[in-house]
Amino acid sequence: MGSIRLENVEKWFGDLQVIKGIDLEIDDGEFVIFVGPSGCGKSTLLRMISGLEETSRGRILLDGDDVTDRLPSERGLSMVFQSYALYPHMDVRDNMGFSLKTAGSPKKEIAEKVGRAAEILRLDDYLDRRPKALSGGQRQRVAIGRAIVREPKGFLFDEPLSNLDAALRVEMRFEIARLHETLGTTMIYVTHDQVEAMTLADRIVVLKDGRIMQVGTPRDLYEKPDNLFVAQFIGSPK
């Protein structure tokens, strides 16, 4: 299970309001993408859902439970960070198993979960390598593997591909689509890349200045934009 509901969610940094009355319902298993220009609040909203950022007003519900005041570790969601957040001195196996180890999981269970994630991500042959001996795509897959082993109710991605070159970005886009097909887990994915949004999403949430401009399928937004902002943003990939 992994349904997520935002009720009139707001975020203030001091006097500055960056998230303004957001209502949103995400179904279990949905792939939802937040898009919008730089500074519109995508990362802040994602971090509020993960629990890394406090919610100033409103409520966040996971499978119907109010988690607004719960710690990230109590929410059952996994944030996927960019690949440069890997531990350089640990091999792939230990990078992927680290969070389970610190949570005190038995060795056998860690090995099984890491093995399964490695299989899904086709990293079986690289478990003994350190990050510096991997390609950019493999490193990003390890970063995703670290989230998979925790068997989250939902994955949260914040521009995971933004530091990769164009060819690798396309490869990883397919990889993430495949992952969603394989696991069927809820995913929220932040990007400012319209092509990524149009190709990956079940539904796209277009944000501007901390507000939702429109929510819909890629096709809805493309064919029936509610306003000029959405039309321009979706219609003109940079």
Binding residues (CB under 6 A) for ligand ADP: these are 13, 16, 18, 36, 38-44
Residues 89-108 that bind Mg ion (CB under 5 A): none
Of 69-88, which residues contact Mg ion (CB under 5 A)? none
The distance of closest approach from Cβ of residue 158 to Mg ion in the complex, given in angstroms and rounded to an integer, is: 6
Q: Report the nearest approach of Mg ion to the CB of residue 190 (Å).
A: 6
Shortest Å distance, C-beta 115 to ligand ADP? 35
The residue among 41 and 145 lying less far from ligand ADP, judged by its C-beta, is 41
C-beta separation of 63 from 70 below 8 A: no
Report the nearest approach of Mg ion to the CB of residue 43 (Å).
3
Binding site partner of 38, from ligand ADP, Mg ion, none, Cβ cut-off 5-8 A by kind: ligand ADP
Interacting residues with Mg ion between 117 and 146 (CB under 5 A): none
Which residue number, 138 or 191, has a Cβ lying nearer to Mg ion?
191
Question: Rounded to an integer, what distance in angstroms lies between the CA atom of residue 224 and that of residue 27?
Answer: 22
Q: Which is nearer to ligand ADP, 39 or 237 (CB)?
A: 39
As a whole number of angstroms, the distance between CA 130 and CA 87 comes to 9
β-bridge mates for residue 157, sequence order: 80, 189
38 vs 102 by CB, closer to ligand ADP: 38
What does 40 bind: ligand ADP, Mg ion, none (CB cut-off 5 to 8 Å by kind)?
ligand ADP
Give yes or no for a contact between 100 and 109, defined as CB atoms under 8 angstroms apart: yes
Determine the Cα–Cα distance for residues 142 and 96; give it in Å rounded to an integer.
7
Beta strand extents in the chain (DSSP E only): 4-13, 16-26, 31-35, 57-62, 65-66, 77-80, 154-158, 186-190, 203-208, 211-216
Query: Which residue bears the tokens 């060819």?
Result: 167
Give one word for 212, left, alpha or beta, with left for phi > 0 and alpha for psi -120 to 50.
Answer: beta
In this structure, are residues 198 and 234 in contact, taking their beta carbons and an 8 Å threshold?
Answer: yes
Residue list 37-66, contact with Mg ion (CB under 5 A):
43
CB nearer to ligand ADP: pick between 67 and 207: 207
Rounded to a whole number of angstroms, the minimum distance from the CB of residue 223 to Mg ion is 28
